Structures are given as structure tokens and as C-alpha cells.
Amino acid sequence: MSEQAAVPRSQHLQGAQQPSYNGKDELWANERCLKNYNRDIVEKLARHTLQRGSVMEFGAGIGTLAGLWENTTGVRPVCLEIDPQLRQILLERQFPCYQSLDVVDQAFDTIYSSNVLEHIEDDVAILRQLHEKLQPGGTLAVYVPAFMSIYTELDAAVGHYRRYARGELVEKMQRAGFRVERSHYVDCIGYFAWLAVRLRGYKGDRKLGDGKSLAIYDTWLYPLSRLFDGLGLRHLFGKNLLVIARKD
């Protein structure tokens, strides 16, 4: 049922702002407890992108996915992270790291992002900037929360402006100049878990999102969800949405 917690990411548009970050502990817990989930995200993002060439992770956090990306593809990503504390962690992990898109001084073959775009108020403007930072023929791979029908107080608390419908994100990608090659939902079981949070409300004393619940989700529920996704449910619904788009 996990989604990476973070503060609102609208500051990606203003590189001079340095917001404080209140989700660092959650990021460490996600890295420690969600090994299957994180590995699967990277495999899905990398599967339809260029396996060689330059890569940037947009909104890299503490570098969990960046490390898995390197292990999976053999390519060490450049990272972008606006939070100074998280950026320091990335530098300590020896990932080159930009503080905003405004200072990115190269074009990449691949840009990927996981659970970031929903934190940005003007997401189309950011998609246009990401389009500019890609080489012709380059790929943008995006993984985001899905379905406003399961938007919860927890989404609001961690700074989500929205959860996405597939048609909505495809249309926004196209407005930003991309050609969308693939889009489908991910984690059909997680959809019902998030729906339960929506209907019952989120209560911290229920221990949702603690290490034990994350480990149970990662070990038992997510592999089963991935199986059902593969049987075709990914075309109908899921807790998340994956979109792969190309710059012509």
C-alpha cells in the first residue's frame, strides 16, 4: 500500500527555493522494507527506455531507485533533488546531483521519475521542461499515483495535488510535446487498499506504513498484485500509473 511520502514538489519550478523536507525517515523505511516494490518500479521504468546513454532521475530522494537503476542497467544516473538534506545524502552516495531543472546543463537520453509529478501544481510546465532536457529520441518514464476516486487525507498530508487518470496524464504529456508509447496502471491490489483508507480514513495509530506493514505488503501483497496486473488488470485499474513517452 506504500507510496513514497514527500512534501509538495511545486518548488521544482523555482530553483532558488529550498524547502524543508519532513519525509526522510519514511524514505529510509521504504528503502529498507520495500525491496521487491522498488526493484519492480525500476524494472518497469527501465524496460522501455534506452539501456545505455545518459540518465537523470527527477526527484531522487535519498537515491534508492538511483542505486537500483545502476544495478539493473549498469548506468549510474545523474540525480535532481531540490531538498538540501536529501541532496547531501545523494552526494555522499556519490551520485552527481542538480538542485533544480533551471541549472541542468546537459540533455539526457533518459529521464525517469517515481512519485514526484503529483507534488507539482503546474505539472504541464514541468513536463515541458523535462522535454527540453531530453535528447531527440530520448525517453521520459513516469510513475505516479492513480485515480482521484481514491484520493485520501493521506494524499493531502504528503502534498499530492492530484492522483492521475491514464487519459489525463497521456493528454498532458502530449501537450508538453511527447509522443506517448505506453501507459498502464500498476498494483491492482493496492488500489483496494487505498480505497479502504479513503472509506475508513487514515489513522496513525493503525500503524499503516510502519516497517512491519511495509514488509508484509512487499513480501506477500505486492507480488500477488504484480501477478494479477500481468493477467490484464493493469489495463483497468491500479494504485499507480506508468507512462513511457518519447521526444521525437
The more confident residue out of 197 and 161 is 161
Name the amino acid, one letter, at 138: G
Rounded-to-integer distance, Cα 146 and Cα 165, Å: 6
Name the amino acid, one letter, at 54: S
Question: Cell 488500489 appears where?
Answer: 191
pLDDT band at residue 16, thresholds of 50, 70 and 90? very low
Cell of 219: 513480501
pLDDT at 6: 35
Rounded-to-integer distance, Cα 112 and Cα 215, Å: 25
Mean pLDDT over 183-198 rounds to: 95
For the chain, the average pLDDT equals 90
With a pLDDT cut of 70, the percent of the chain lying above it is 87
List Cβ neighbours of 173 (8 Å cut-off, separation of 6 or more). Answer: 127, 140, 142, 180, 243, 245
Mean pLDDT over 1-22 rounds to: 42
pLDDT band at residue 201, thresholds of 50, 70 and 90? confident
Mean pLDDT over 40-64 rounds to: 94
Cell of 147: 485515480
pLDDT exceeds 90 at position 7: no
Mean pLDDT over 86-108 rounds to: 97
pLDDT exceeds 80 at position 173: yes
140 to 21, 86, 110, 186, 219: CA distances (angstroms): 26, 23, 6, 17, 29
Mean pLDDT over 59-73 rounds to: 97
pLDDT at 145: 98
pLDDT exceeds 60 at position 22: no
pLDDT exceeds 50 at position 55: yes
pLDDT at 52: 79
Q: What angle do CA 107, 111, 114 make, to 5 degrees?
A: 155
pLDDT exceeds 80 at position 11: no
- 3-class SS of residue 98: strand
Backbone angles phi, psi at 134, to 5 degrees: -105, 145
